[in-house]
Amino acid sequence: MTTHRRWILWGGATFGLALVGLGSYFAYIGLEQADKLASVLGFFMGSLGLAISILVALLPRSNNTPDNPPASGGTVPSTTLDGPSADSEPGNHLSNIQVHGPSAIINGNHGRQNNRFG
């Protein structure tokens, strides 16, 4: 078993035991007190989730990809498309799009699959 799967298994088991323990405690203290306690716990968990989501939104994003990722068989220089191309469909305007890495035109379909499923 891999380390990642083991962490998931133990995390799930711990979470399940915590839920069973909390449910047992709620049954012990009674419905009225359990309702009040669950409301307070829900408020703090919601506040914690909101704080984490704001923190993640404010953190700078790292770009771990190289400037020119290697393609199979070698490297492909980056290409920049400005404005609509002559072979684009009507209403399909491209501007300020940077394409990095390999791209293919297959049977004139510009990367779209040409089979009975696509």
- Domain edges within the chain: 3-58, 68-108
pLDDT (tens digit per residue) in 8-54: 999 999 999 999 999 999 999 998 999 999 999 999 999 999 999 99
Residue 104 pLDDT > 80 = no
- Residue 55 gets which letter from DSSP? H
Position with higher pLDDT, 39 vs 1 = 39
pTM of the model: 0.42
Beta strands in the chain (DSSP E): 70-71, 74-75, 79-81, 97-99
Position with higher pLDDT, 43 vs 110 = 43
At residue 4 the predicted structure's pLDDT band, cuts being 50, 70 and 90, is confident
What count of other Cβ atoms lies within 10 Å of the Cβ of residue 34? Answer: 16
